[in-house]
Structure formats: structure tokens, C-alpha cells
Amino acid sequence: MEGIEKITAKIAQDAQAEIDRLDREAQEQIDALSAQTRAQSDRECSAILERGRAAAQERLERLSSAAKLERSKLELAAKQEVLDEAFALAVETLCSLPEEEYVKLLTRLVLEASTTGREQLIFSAADRARVGKQVVVAANEALVSRVAPELPEPLTDTRVGALLGKVVNSTTAMVTGTGMLTLSEETRDIRGGFILVDGDVETNCSFESMVRFQREKLEREVAGLLFGD
């Protein structure tokens, strides 16, 4: 019996040793797998964090770029508004000239714009009533004086000479066909200046139109003066 017990004990001892060995190997495999899992998890976490940082940086750059673009738009809009006010002030300044200066300015513009001396002048309702006739008369006299024969100075200083001068100018106007500008019954919705009409052809000499034309040429220069651009 003792022999059997010894054999049984030996078998049990060997079995336990094998179990212990298997447990150790299993634990080693579990530890290795855990280490691999942790390493993989760490790598994936790092990759996720890196992607998150990159996405955050990209979004920050997009927002920064959008903010800069919006700022540029606002600055451009503000500058455009200031330029609008500057050129609107130019129109207002012209319209606010004293009457005598206003008539001289309009007369000079008529002389520069007229090509036949027989055009019609259309003003705003206010300007037609206030200065229309003065401008037409002054412009006609200037046009005629360019082609009318000059009378001797001693003669022009007399009443007879003055009357004769008018007759000569009137005759010259009829003969040459110039100095025959007329004041139109029509009025236009313009701030100042006039519309020159010759048949079907109109020349827009309103202050708004002239300032708008000048703006196209001068806006960059004016912006430089105002903003240092």
C-alpha cells in the first residue's frame, strides 16, 4: 500500500507541477497580451490626440483666416463709405457755390461742352428758375464774342457803341449759327449742372455725372490721401 501511495503522491506532485507551469505560462501570455494591448491602446490614443490637435489647429487657422477676411471686408466697406461721402461732398460743394460763382462755373462748362452753339440747356427745376437764363445769356455772349468782329474801343465805351455791339453780336450769331443756345422748358431731376441737348444727342453735364466720371479716375488718389493706401 505504501508503494501505491507513493506513486499516487508522485503523480499528484507531478500534476501540480504541470498545473503550476501552465499557470505561469498562461500568466506570462496574459501579461504579454496586456502589454501589447496597452501599447496598442497608447499608440491609438496618441494617434487620436494627434489627429485632434491637427484638426483643432486646422479649424483655428480657418477661423483666423475667416476673421481676417471679414475684417478686410469691413475695412473696405468703411473706406468705401468714406469715399462715397467725400465725393458726395464734392457735389454738395459745387451746388452750394454763391450765385455769381455758380453762373460763371456753369457758363464755362457750357462753353466747353457746346459743339454747335445751338443746343438746348436743361437744368433742374430750381436751377432753371434761379440761374438758367443768366447762364444761357452769358454762354451765348461768350460764344459770339469768339467769332464777332471787334469794334474800336472808343466806340464800345459809348451807349451807341454798346447798342451797336449788341446788334453786331446778334447779327454774327444769326450768320454763324453760333451763340444760339436756348433754355429748355424741360427740367431734370439732377442736383446741379445741366444737360446739353442737340437733337437726339444728350451730353450729361450734371454735377453728379461729372463727379462720378472723375471718381473713376481719382478714387485711388483720393483713397491715398484719406487712408495712406
pLDDT of residue 147: 64
For the CA atoms of 49, 53, 56, 57, the dihedral, rounded to the nearest 10 degrees, stands at -170
Phi and psi, residue 195, nearest 5°: -115, 125
Instruction: Spell out the per-residue pLDDT of the chain, length 229, in tens.
Output: 566 677 776 776 766 777 777 667 767 777 776 677 677 767 776 777 678 677 767 776 777 777 676 776 666 666 677 777 877 888 999 999 999 999 999 999 999 999 999 999 999 999 999 999 999 999 999 998 876 545 455 544 555 444 444 544 444 444 445 788 999 999 999 999 999 999 999 999 999 999 888 887 767 776 676 666 6
What is the domain partition of the chain in residue ranges?
1-68, 97-227
Confidence (pTM): 0.57
- The answer for residues whose C-beta is within 8 angstroms of residue 164's C-beta and 6 or more apart is 151, 155
Side chain identity at residue 213, one-letter code? F
CB atoms closer than 10 angstroms to residue 165: 18
- CATH 3.30.43.10, domain 97-227, yes or no: no
What pLDDT score was predicted for residue 177?
A: 56
Supply the pLDDT for residue 164: 40
How far apart, in whole angstroms, are the C-alpha atoms of residue 130 and residue 118?
A: 22
Neighbouring CB atoms inside 10 A of 196's CB total 22
The predicted structure's pLDDT at residue 133: 97
DSSP, residue by residue, the chain: -HHHHHHHHHHHHHHHHHHHHHHHHHHHHHHHHHHHHHHHHHHHHHHHHHHHHHHHHHHHHHHHHHHHHHHHHHHHHHHHHHHHHHHHHHHHHHHTS-HHHHHHHHHHHHHHH-SSS--EEEE-HHHIIIIIHHHHHHHHHHHHHHHSPPPPHHHHTSHHHHHHHHHHHHHHHHHH--S--EEEEEE-S-SSEEEEEETTEEEEEEHHHHHHHHHHHHHHHHHHHHH--
